[in-house]
Chain A
Amino acid sequence: MNTRRTDTVAAPRRFPLREVGLFLALLVAVLGVYAVMGGAYSTRMLVEASCYAILALGLTIQWGYAGQFNAGVMGFVALGGFCAMFFSIPVNHDFWGSELPGELGLVFVYMIAATLVVIGATRLDRLGVPRKLRTVIAVVLGVVLYLVVINALRGVTDQIESRAGFIGGLGLPVGVGWIVGGALAGVVGFFIGRVCLGLRSDYLAIATLGIAEIIKAFLKNSDWLTRGTATVSPLPWPVPGPEAVGFTLARALYLSVTAVMIAVIFFLLTRAYNAPWGRMIRAIRDNEISAAAMGKDINKRRLEIFVLGCILMGIGGAALGSFNSMFDPQGYLPLNHTFLVLVMVILGGPGNNLGTIFGAVAVYIIWIMSEPLALFLMELAVSFGEGAFGWVAPTNMDSRALQARVFVIGLLITLVLRFAPKGLLPEKVKHHG
């Protein structure tokens, strides 16, 4: 061919000007926040940004490597947060000392038995039962058994709520909850992936959004398990808390934990990306048909990626939950979690791990800072309005300024999609040969 592509491997290794420039700008922004808002506040912001960076790394492999649009990030974050709470808070002796754990266990046995019976009923056609009859039997059996089990469960959970409050935690080290949180998110992700990954991309988005809502509805209304809207606090930290060493230092210690986690995840992801596995994934993304022709199991790989992303989201959600030191199922807002993470990934550069981390910190600063900025602008407008027209301002300015965040994030998504669709740090695609 006559023209030489500029992005071939043969091109000389250039100085990463763009990366260095963007990260320097980010550093300036962080230092600016430190100068204006003080050390404790800014360190808190950085810890939260680092937790979001873990979430964003999870989403970037789903969206960047495989083009799966998971709109249910919030659900996995909530699962992680729940595990962080359940494993780390102290044991509730009111509950374990009574006969209630046995009854609860019995209900779970019923539940498993009922599931097995229904699954068995769906296989009845192998015994010569007509398919239509099999479906009818399975559906009727499912409905009846469901009602029986759900009634038994309601009985036990009401008892738990009235006698013990809620079942309490396990009193284990914080790290256990984080690991189990990741594992649980992965298991849930596996089942979701099995059902939904065959769907078209926007249907996958709707389906995952719905699953996130189900998880939230369950956590919010299962008072026996999570205390529901009464919230659980305080959650223990993996490092000494603020009461021992002061706010700034405690948060800095927490930041070092999350930073190490990010470093490990980053290292592993980069290794995987450059390994044969990563090449296969990109081959599938770039041309699914030819990858399938080469004998790659597309569906299995897609499921692998989806589960991997969900695990990272669970871990990030657990770290975030422990840091907030309060488990509030109602606090898991689809806006705050899902779409914030999505903007981080799209702004940073889907598929580029470094870009994703950049996007996470940058977007989180924008998200946090847009509220005081909006409040400042609104107060300016109010003082101008009162001075010039004698206009009486509404009183709840603070809660209204909070809404500016949402607006800014929405604007950011649309602007990035339009002007930098590949992100600020696009993935470097290598063309061999």
Chain B
Amino acid sequence: MNELVFFINNVVIAGSVTGSIYAIGAVGVTLIFSIMRFAHFAHGDMMTFGAFMVLLLTTAFPGAGAAFGVPAALVLLPVAMALTALLAVGIDRAFYKPLRAHGVKPIVMVIGSLGVTLMLQGLIRLFSGTGGQSLYVDDRKEIFRLALPFEGVRAPVVITEPQLYLFVITLVAVVGLHFFLTRSRLGKAMRAMSDNPDLAQASGINTNTIVAVTWVIAGGLAAIAGTLLSLDVTFKPDLSFFLLLPIFAAAIVGGVGHPYGAVAGGFVVGFAETLAVFNWSVLLRPFRDSLPEWMTQAGNLAFVGTEYKIVVPFFILVVILVWRPTGIFKGKVI
């Protein structure tokens, strides 16, 4: 049973944590893709920017959380979301809109977003330095240890405070997005524009507003994902590069342009990562006596070492692209 707890801690919880973060990020990428029709490479840096804003605000107002009984970072998150949304809209106005007006190919937009990536990364590092910093400036990170009520189970299930917030906020964000897209006028207009931009414009939808709303949503979600990831581990300025591939993988696995697919894709990629680096020989240990010796002899049955974790999302990506390019949920025809 101890092995099962080990499995829960290392795969179920860790996979849901990374899955949730990838899911929120991938939803943003997928929304931008379905409205603006290009792969937004600077998304990871918008996440980093959001987390950095939270870090700055928390350093400025360390006592903000005490009144609500939650970490200060969480109280200040909405402000950071607004700032990131503002940044996203500003970037669009300054860099992407002129390119769109010229009617360039999507790939040129991608290169433009690479430029934005570099600028954001340079700026964030210029101000934050290159080291990691904890978002728990004045608070203490609580760690819950749940002992399972079984005979002979010594190891507890470990879950930390930010992980609990992460699950709740992911749920709220996804449900909120669902209602926004299906019930509100703007959300319906967004879906219309994603299906057929020309027809949407002809039927009186203001495309400029829709573009701005998309950036606001994507920016806000990016800030949430970046902050929650930084709460769980630490804030690092090179966060974005480790997020970029998994997020694109998640968006493509789920079918580009498909928000629910992106959520599913995020969890697929998150779990695939943790399952791939998990050492399966641990689970074989209880059956040591009933299995042939050569199977239990192997000390390390992980598919890849932890140092190759970054390779896993990419592998999934290529398999999906070759095997089913529209993703598991039938996204846009590419």
Contact = CB atoms under 8 A, between A and B. Distances in A.
A210 B318 contact: yes
Nearest to A210: B314
A interface: dominant SS: helix
A410 B311 contact: no
A410 B117 CA distance: 7
A369 to B, nearest CB: 15
A205 B117 CA distance: 15
Q: How large is the interface on B (under 10, 10 to 19, 20 to 34, 35 or more residues)?
A: 35 or more
Interface stretch (A116-124, A146-154, A273-281): A146-154
Given A210-B245, A421-B104, A335 B121 contact: yes
A217 B307 contact: yes
B108 interface: yes
Given A400-B126, A404-B126, A67 B311 contact: no
A210 to B, nearest CB: 3
Interface string B243-286: 01100100010000000000000000000000000000000000
Interface residues of A, number: 51
Given A404-B126, A407-B126, A202 B116 contact: no
A376 interface: no
A199 B321 CA distance: 8
A170 B325 CA distance: 43
Contacts of B186: none
Given A203-B252, A221-B308, A403-B125, A410 B116 contact: yes
Q: Name the residue in A396, A414, A418, A421 with the highest tally of chain B Cβ atoms < 10 Å from its Cβ.
A: A414
Count chain B CB atoms within 10 A of each CB in A211, A213, A220 and give the residue with the most: A213
A276 to B, nearest CB: 27
B118 A335 contact: yes
A11 to B, nearest CB: 26
A214 interface: yes
B130 A202 contact: no
A292 interface: no
B149 to A, nearest CB: 35
A146 B318 CA distance: 18
B180 interface: no
Interface string A332-345: 00110001001000
Contacts of B175: none
A205 B122 contact: no
Given A213-B314, A217-B310, A205 B321 contact: no
B305 A339 contact: no
Contacts of A406: 118-119, 121-122, 125
A98 interface: no
Contacts of B184: none
A200 B310 CA distance: 23
A207 B112 contact: no
A213 B245 contact: yes
Contacts of A335: 118, 121
A414 B96 CA distance: 9
B132 interface: no
B130 A413 contact: no
A206 B324 CA distance: 16
25 contacts: A69-B111, A147-B298, A151-B298, A154-B300, A201-B107, A202-B106, A202-B110, A206-B248, A206-B317, A213-B310, A217-B308, A217-B310, A220-B307, A335-B118, A399-B129, A403-B130, A407-B122, A407-B123, A408-B122, A410-B114, A410-B118, A414-B115, A414-B116, A418-B99, A421-B108
Interface of A: 67, 69, 71, 146-147, 150-151, 154, 195-196, 199-203, 205-207, 209-211, 213-214, 217-218, 220-221, 334-335, 339, 342, 346, 394, 396, 399-400, 403-414, 417-418, 421
Interface of B: 38-39, 41, 95, 98-99, 102, 104-108, 110-112, 114-123, 125-126, 129-130, 241, 244-245, 248, 252, 298, 300-301, 303, 305, 307-308, 310-311, 313-314, 317-318, 321-322, 325, 334
